[in-house]
C-alpha cells in the first residue's frame, strides 16, 4: 500500500506512511563516525559511509520535510558533535520555517565547549548518552572515549539553559543494570530526565525488560506513577513512556517488550542522504542522488512519499534471524 500524496502538490502536508500514520519528526544523521566505539552501537567492522552531506544539503532536505509537515528535527550520528560544521548545521536548520524543535543526541564528550554555542545556534534539546557512572564499566562498554570529558560535558549542558535535557541509558544485563537507581539520582540532581532503553539487536549484550527495571526502582522505595501518553500527532511525541517519581520524571523506551511502532511519527535520513522509512528495515530512497542530480523539491517530496509507502506496520527485531540483516546502529542514525 502506498500513501497517496495530495493530488496537486506532493509538498503539501500531511506526510503519511503506508498505515496512515502522520510523520512530524525527522531523525537526521549527520555523521556515522564516532569518537567512542560502544559495543551495542558501533562494531569494529563498521567502516562508515562516504559522501556525507554538507550543511546546505541538510538544510535543503529539512526544508522539504518542513513543507510536508515535519516540525521536529533531531540530529544524530555516530557522534554529531565531531562534525567541524556542527554549529553552522544547527543554525541553518533552526532557521528553517516550520521547524519548532531542534534536538541533538550526543555522547556529551564535546559539550564542555559546545553546550552554550549550540544553544545560541538554536538547539532546544539535548539527549545525553551515559550508560554508567563507573569509569571501569565505561571502558567495558566503550573501548575508546574520554569518560571524564563526558561527565564534564553533562555538567556543562545542565548549566547551559536548554529547554529540555534527557539522559539516555542503554541497559545491558550484567553490565550496567544494577546502576539504574543511581543513574536516576544522578540525572535528577542535575535537572535531567533519565530514560532507560531496552537494548536492540544491533550489537553485543543482553537486554533487560522495562518491567524488570520498574520493579527494581519500586524496590528502592520510590513511588512511580505512569503519565498519560502524549498524542502521537504532537511534534514532541516520541517512543518513550514516562513515570513520575520523587525528584522528577523517569522514561523508558521499550522496543522489544512494549512495541512502540503503533504511534510512530518518525522518518530517518542517514548521513549520506539515504532515507530509511523504518529503523528495523533496509528499504531506502537515495535523496542525495536526487539533490545532486538536480531534482526539484516536488521530485524530492515524491521520492519521500514513495519510500514511506513501503514503511511496515512495525519493526521485526524479534523475528528469528533478523538481527543478521540489520545495519549497526551507527549506520542507521538511531
- Domain of 263, CATH number, reads 3.20.20.70
Question: For residue 55, is it within any domain?
Answer: yes
Q: Any bridge partners for residue 266, and if so which? A: 25
Q: Are 287 and 300 in contact (CB under 8 A)?
A: yes
Mean pLDDT confidence for 62-86: 97
Is residue 137 part of an annotated ligand binding site?
no
Q: Is the pLDDT of residue 260 over 70?
A: no
Q: Is the pLDDT of residue 145 over 50?
A: yes
Is residue 242 part of an annotated ligand binding site?
no
Is residue 25 part of an annotated ligand binding site?
no
Q: Which residue has the higher pLDDT, 313 or 45?
A: 313
Q: Is the pLDDT of residue 315 over 70?
A: no
Question: For residue 317, is it within any domain?
Answer: yes
Comparing 39-48, 60-69, 291-300, 301-310, the range with the smallest average pLDDT is: 39-48
Mean pLDDT confidence for 307-324: 61
Question: For residue 8, is it within any domain?
Answer: no
Q: What backbone torsions phi and psi does residue 86 show, to the nearest 5 degrees?
A: -60, -40
Give the range of the structural domain holding residue 185, as residue numbers without chain letter.
25-332
Mean pLDDT confidence for 240-263: 85
Comparing 153-162, 168-177, 293-302, 305-314, the range with the smallest average pLDDT is: 305-314
Q: Is the pLDDT of residue 2 over 80?
A: no
Question: For residue 18, is it within any domain?
Answer: no
∠ Cα 262 264 270 (to 5°): 140
Question: For residue 86, is it within any domain?
Answer: yes
Question: For residue 3, is it within any domain?
Answer: no
Is residue 22 part of an annotated ligand binding site?
no
Distances (CA, A) of 65 to 53, 56, 84, 116, 120: 16, 14, 24, 27, 24
Please give the pLDDT value at position 313: 61
Please give the pLDDT value at position 1: 46
Mean pLDDT confidence for 267-281: 84
Q: What backbone torsions phi and psi does residue 249 show, to the nearest 5 degrees?
A: -95, 155
Q: Is the pLDDT of residue 68 over 80?
A: yes
Q: Which residue has the higher pLDDT, 314 or 23?
A: 23
Question: For residue 93, is it within any domain?
Answer: yes
> What pTM did the predictor assign?
0.89
Mean pLDDT of the chain: 88
Q: Is the pLDDT of residue 326 over 50?
A: no
Is residue 334 part of an annotated ligand binding site?
no
Please give the pLDDT value at position 324: 43
Is residue 68 part of an annotated ligand binding site?
no
Share of the chain above pLDDT 70, in %: 83
Is residue 64 part of an annotated ligand binding site?
no
Is residue 40 part of an annotated ligand binding site?
yes
How many domains does one find in the chain?
1
- Those residues with Cβ within 8 angstroms of residue 228's Cβ, 6 or more apart along the chain or in another chain: none
Q: Is the pLDDT of residue 238 over 80?
A: no
Measured between alpha carbons, how far is 292 from 134 in angstroms, rounded to an integer? 46
Is residue 78 part of an annotated ligand binding site?
yes
Question: For residue 19, is it within any domain?
Answer: no
Is residue 241 part of an annotated ligand binding site?
no
Amino acid at each position: 500500500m502506498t500513501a497517496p500524496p495530495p493530488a496537486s502538490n506532493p509538498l503539501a502536508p500531511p506526510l503519511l506512511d503506508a498505515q496512515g500514520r502522520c510523520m512530524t519528526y525527522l531523525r537526521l544523521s549527520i555523521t556515522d563516525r564516532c569518537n567512542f566505539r560502544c559495543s551495542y552501537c558501533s562494531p569494529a567492522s563498521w567502516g562508515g559511509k562516504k559522501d556525507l552531506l554538507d550543511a546546505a544539503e541538510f538544510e535543503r532536505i529539512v526544508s522539504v520535510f518542513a513543507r510536508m509537515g515535519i516540525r521536529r528535527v533531531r540530529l544524530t550520528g555516530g557522534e554529531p558533535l565531531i562534525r567541524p560544521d556542527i554549529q553552522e548545521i544547527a543554525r541553518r536548520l533552526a532557521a528553517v520555517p516550520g521547524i519548532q524543535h531542534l534536538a541533538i543526541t550526543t555522547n556529551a564528550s564535546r559539550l564542555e565547549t559546545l553546550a552554550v554555542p549550540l544553544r545560541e545556534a538554536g538547539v532546544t534539546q539535548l539527549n545525553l548518552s551515559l550508560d554508567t557512572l563507573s569509569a571501569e564499566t565505561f571502558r567495558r562498554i566503550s573501548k575508546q572515549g574520554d569518560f571524564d570529558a563526558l561527565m564534564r560535558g553533562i555538567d556543562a549542558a545542565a548549566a547551559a539553559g536548554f529547554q529540555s535535557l534527557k539522559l539516555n541509558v542503554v541497559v545491558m544485563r550484567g553490565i550496567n543494570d544494577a546502576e539504574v537507581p543511581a543513574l536516576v539520582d544522578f540525572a535528577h540532581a542535575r535537572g535531567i530526565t533519565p530514560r532507560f532503553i531496552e537494548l536492540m539487536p544491533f550489537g553485543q549484550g543482553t537486554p533487560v525488560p522495562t518491567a524488570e527495571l520498574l520493579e527494581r526502582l519500586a524496590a528502592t522505595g520510590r513511588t512511580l506513577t505512569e503519565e498519560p501518553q502524549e498524542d502521537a500527532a504532537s511534534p514532541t511525541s516520541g517512543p518513550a513512556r514516562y513515570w513520575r517519581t520523587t525528584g522528577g520524571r523517569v522514561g523508558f523506551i521499550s522496543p522489544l517488550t512494549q512495541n512502540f511502532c503503533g504511534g510512530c511519527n518518525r522518518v530517518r535520513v542517514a548521513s549520506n542522504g539515504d532515507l530509511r522509512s523504518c529503523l528495523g528495515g533496509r528499504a531506502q530512497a537515495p535523496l542525495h542522488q536526487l539533490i545532486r542530480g538536480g531534482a526539484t523539491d516536488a521530485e524530492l517530496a515524491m521520492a519521500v512519499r514513495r519510500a514511506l509507502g513501503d514503511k511496515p506496520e512495525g519493526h521485526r527485531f524479534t523475528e528469528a534471524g533478523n538481527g543478521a540483516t540489520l545495519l549497526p546502529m551507527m549506520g542507521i542514525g538511531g
